[in-house]
Amino acid sequence: MNLFLQQLVNGLSIGSIYALMAVGYSLVYSIMNFSNFAHGSVIMLGAYFGYYAMTLLGLPFLGGAVAAALGSAGVAIILERLAYKPLRDRRAPFLYFIITAMGASMFIDNSVIATIGPTPKMYPNVFGQGPISIGHIDIGRVDLAMFIISAVALVALILFIDHTKLGKAIQATAYNMKASALMGISPSFVIILVFGIGGGLAGIAGILYGMKYQVFPQIGAITLKSFIAAVFGGLGSLPGALLGALLLGILETFVSGYLSSQYRDLIAFTLLIAMLVIRPSGIMGKNAEDKA
């Protein structure tokens, strides 16, 4: 029983990080109907922004998190303006968006390798040493911080989407972009807003993931897991992305704890294939024409 609870706690911790990453995919997909595969590079840059803010500038963790969020949000918006907006203006096929996203991701990753270098970097220890023990369960301080900060950020996002005019504008644009434009909502502004929000959450995910492990140019590869979580929950569905991320995190930790960590990725990608075959729209996604 203790092992079960320990693995459950670990799964919720890593699942919360997957959730921060997955909502970025879902938000962009809900508006533009394509999967932004450059999202992982934005997360990677967020990890570097936070690292240098805390080491070179000497900012505390909160300052580093704000720097990571703002820096990643800025990168995401610039990426949309330079790479995706020209395609939207030309009404290019959605396949072009995916190819452009992959190219942008490769460009950013290799630019970091060429300038900063491939050597992994370690965040300073800001949460203290040793786990927090609750009964027979040990909770890592970084894991606890990951879960709490992710939960606060995601709750704030849900409240923003459901209870603000900008959030309603995002919902309206996601439902029908042409109709929302006729009602006076600027689709271009909503797209910038969505990329900014997704980028900000990516920055927070990057600094938290970097603090748990290391910071290196290929850290964005972890977003493959968050993409699986978004597909599993339902692309374009914010609650689905959250549910899929938590379930994937829990599943991975149980597989690692009870079987072997070698099967962790195998189970994750098997889950993706099975979901695409059995229910392509995901657990909470709506049936819609797949445009990308």
Distance CA 242, CA 153 (A): 12
- Answer whether residue 24 is part of any domain: yes
In this prediction, residue 77 carries a pLDDT of: 95
For every residue of 28-77, which 3-state class applies, written as one string?
Answer: HHHHHCCCCCCHHHHHHHHHHHHHHHHHCCCCCHHHHHHHHHHHHHHHHH
Output 270-275 pairs: Cβ under 8 A, ≥24 positions apart. Answer: 271/228, 271/232, 272/228, 272/231, 272/232, 275/231, 275/232
Domain that residue 13 falls in? 2-124+138-278
In this prediction, residue 247 carries a pLDDT of: 85
- Answer whether residue 130 is part of any domain: no
- Answer whether residue 283 is part of any domain: no
- Answer whether residue 164 is part of any domain: yes
Distance CA 229, CA 246 (A): 8
Task: Tell me the average confidence (pLDDT) per consecutive run of 10 residues in the chain, 292 residues long.
Answer: 77 86 84 84 93 92 93 94 91 88 92 91 82 76 86 90 91 87 89 93 91 87 80 77 85 80 78 78 59 39
- Answer whether residue 133 is part of any domain: no
- Answer whether residue 20 is part of any domain: yes
- Answer whether residue 287 is part of any domain: no
- Answer whether residue 43 is part of any domain: yes
| CB distance 192 to 80 below 8 Å | yes
Q: CATH code at 191?
A: 1.10.3470
In this prediction, residue 291 carries a pLDDT of: 40
Number of domains in the chain: 1
Distance CA 15, CA 37 (A): 20
Distance CA 128, CA 118 (A): 27
